[in-house]
Amino acid sequence: MEGIADAVATMVPDIAVITEQWKEKNNILDKIRQKSARNYEYCRNGPQEKWWDGDILYRADLFEVLDDGVMDWGSNRGLSWAVLKHRASGKQLMVYGAHPVCCGNEHIHLQNAVDFSEHAKGMVEKYPDTPIIIMGDFNALEDWKSTQLYKGATVENDGKHFSLDFKFRDSFRDTNSYSVDATTHSSGARLDYIFAENGNQRQTPIDEGFRTMSSWIWRQAPGGSDHYPILAEFEIL
């Protein structure tokens, strides 16, 4: 708990996704508030702490929650989601916190991505000009089919074709070449991503979206996790 709070207090993110939190969640939040001197809050609607998911943490002084919940993603996993409104600018964004099952289960990961896309389609009908960002521990390598699917590719697996209604950019690769080490796990693998949407690439384009200003991986973060935090700075268009 102390390590998570120290990491958040050091980086002071506007929005974060933290996975694998259960009964200790509120204690972690208290420590984050104490150490950061910021008014952090979690999105709390929906079946919290029922499945393994990615809890969405945000600065309540900067954002207002318009809508949020947790979707059953199957295999004892949940997909957290929220629509946030930036208080100063009035701009809205849709945030998803992901934590699908562990590595090697690409058939599940692919279906997870499709189910996410279907959920996002419904949310876009309600919030049509709101760009989407999905982030967390995806338990998939950069060249795996599910990762490519989020980035806009149509992929085939076991004779079935998969595609999404949305196309996302890998924030880390937006500002770092493929020669830069992207390891986010102590095993030497990359499993964690921040996927941001550029709205003009929707089937019905919108002006809104995200421009990646910088992105980096913090391998010396406190807390002793086997995952390293990945961070990104965006401009909301």
DSSP 102: P
Q: What is the pLDDT of residue 49?
A: 85
**Residues 144/106, Cβ–Cβ less than 8 Å:** yes
Q: What is the pLDDT of residue 48?
A: 87
Q: pLDDT (tens digit, 9 = 90+) per residue, 79-109?
A: 999 999 999 999 999 999 999 999 889 999 9
Angstrom distance (rounded) from CA 49 to CA 21: 7
CA angle 223, 224, 226 (to 5 degrees): 125
Share of the chain above pLDDT 90, in %: 90
Half-sphere exposure of 127 (CA within 13 A, CB side): 21
Q: For each of the chain's 237 residues, which pLDDT tens digit applies?
A: 688 999 999 999 999 999 988 889 999 999 999 999 999 999 999 998 889 899 999 999 999 999 999 999 999 999 999 999 999 999 999 999 999 999 889 999 999 999 999 999 999 999 999 999 999 999 999 999 999 999 999 999 999 999 999 999 999 999 999 999 999 999 999 999 999 998 888 988 999 999 999 999 999 999 889 999 999 999 998
Angstrom distance (rounded) from CA 184 to CA 226: 8
Q: Which tokens is 21 given?
A: 């939190």
**Residues 80/44, Cβ–Cβ less than 8 Å:** no
Residue 160 main-chain phi, psi, to 5 deg? -115, 140
* Cβ within 8 Å of residue 44, ≥6 positions away: 68
Domains and CATH numbers, the chain: 2-236 (3.60.10.10)
